[in-house]
Amino acid sequence: MKKGKKLYEGKAKILYAAPDKGTAIQHFKDDATAFNNQKKAIIEGKGILNNRISEHILSSLNHIGIETHLIKRINMREQLIKLVEIIPIEFIIRNIATGSLTKRLGIEEGTILEKPLLEFCYKDDSLGDPLIAREHIYAFNYCDVKTLNFITNQCFRINDFLQGMFKGIGIKLVDFKLEFGRTRKNESGSTTEKILLADEISPDTCRLWDATSEKKLDKDIFRKDLGNLIKGYQEVARRLDILHEQTNIRPIKFTKPIAVKIKKK
Ligand code: 5GP
């Protein structure tokens, strides 16, 4: 598929125009960033793994009726997606206390939350994605009550589904971030605006712990220098049964591309 002009470049992905109106190509980069861009690295193979893992998760969500921006994966690093206008809110769902929640409120690390907790952060790197209240969302018109209620419901459904899916492969879904977007009216033949799950769901956007050892299998490996990030992401892909056994795992910093074998559908 022919890529058009670059529409947007983020920290981990690039969006290109696609031939059909209302669609775009989402390209997964190998760049890893943490702490609001203060820590950076290029980790070869990360984009390939996130592309495949996110495709698997979003397709599974589609099957249970969650509408997402994903149309199809087109190659190792790229997906064809529906072009949406991203709602400038990061929806954070937590099942176990860790990360910024423990720092902010002094909650003990690893506390299992009685009910999943949904938090809203305003999506702005220059402000450090600050936590906001529902009232801020309405006051500054980031989205209306109906849309926020719909998204809230989607977040808990997605959490229920993903918690079960990961539990089945011996992984605890500790927390994760979701983004949603609006389709533009009259595009893709639609006359009504739709709210779609967008961005990605991958070990870059989730905290995933091995159910027994609580070993980190997500981006915290990079954030906290816990070892080989690729090995953690490969383990997630392997347990999801979308990656053949890896025979050649390299350390984080290497020069040659690693051989990641993706199963054909
Ligand atoms: P925390 O607020 O504890 O730093 O993050 C909570 C969860 O949301 C973690 O799973 C984290 O990976 C995800 N998350 C929060 N903000 C971002 C972000 O800006 N980028 C990515 N990739 N994940 C985020």
Distance 23 CA to ligand 1 centre (A): 26
Q: Strand 171-183 to strand 195-198: parallel, antiparallel, or no bridges (unpaired)?
A: antiparallel
Q: What is the pLDDT of residue 253?
A: 44
Give bridge partners of residue 25 from the DSSP assignment: 16, 80
Residue with tokens 């952060």: 121
64 contact partners, CB below 8 Å, separation of at least 6: 157, 161
Ligand 1 atom with least separation from CA of 207? 10
Distance 43 CA to ligand 1 centre (A): 18
Q: What is the pLDDT of residue 254?
A: 39
Domains of the chain by start residue, with CATH: 6-84+228-246 (3.30.200.20), 86-210 (3.30.470.20)
220 contact partners, CB below 8 Å, separation of at least 6: 207, 226
Residue with tokens 């050649």: 248
Mutate to test the pocket of ligand 1, among 40, 53, 92 (most ligand atoms within 8 A of CB): 92
CA distance readout (Å), 224 to 109, 149, 228: 15, 35, 11
Q: What is the pLDDT of residue 252?
A: 41
Tokens of residue 176, six digits: 């994760």
Distance 188 CA to ligand 1 centre (A): 31
Neighbours of 40 (CB within 10 A): 12
- CA–chain centroid gap for 182, Å, is 17
Distance 176 CA to ligand 1 centre (A): 6
Neighbours of 146 (CB within 10 A): 9
Phi, psi of 165 (to 5 degrees): -60, -45
Ligand 1 lining (C-beta closer than 6 Å): 90, 92, 99-101, 129, 175-177, 204-207, 219
Mutate to test the pocket of ligand 1, among 177, 201, 209 (most ligand atoms within 8 A of CB): 177
Q: What is the pLDDT of residue 17?
A: 97
Q: What is the pLDDT of residue 192?
A: 80
pTM score: 0.91
Phi, psi of 81 (to 5 degrees): -130, 160
| pLDDT of the chain, 265 residues: tens digit per residue | 889 999 999 999 999 999 999 999 999 999 999 998 899 999 999 999 999 999 999 999 999 999 999 999 999 999 999 999 999 999 999 999 999 999 999 999 999 999 999 999 999 999 999 999 999 999 999 999 999 999 999 999 999 999 999 999 999 999 999 999 999 766 555 668 899 999 999 999 999 999 999 999 999 999 999 999 999 999 999 999 998 654 444 444 433 444 555 555 5
CA 228 to CA 253: how far, in whole Å?
Answer: 9
- Residue 67: DSSP 8-state: -
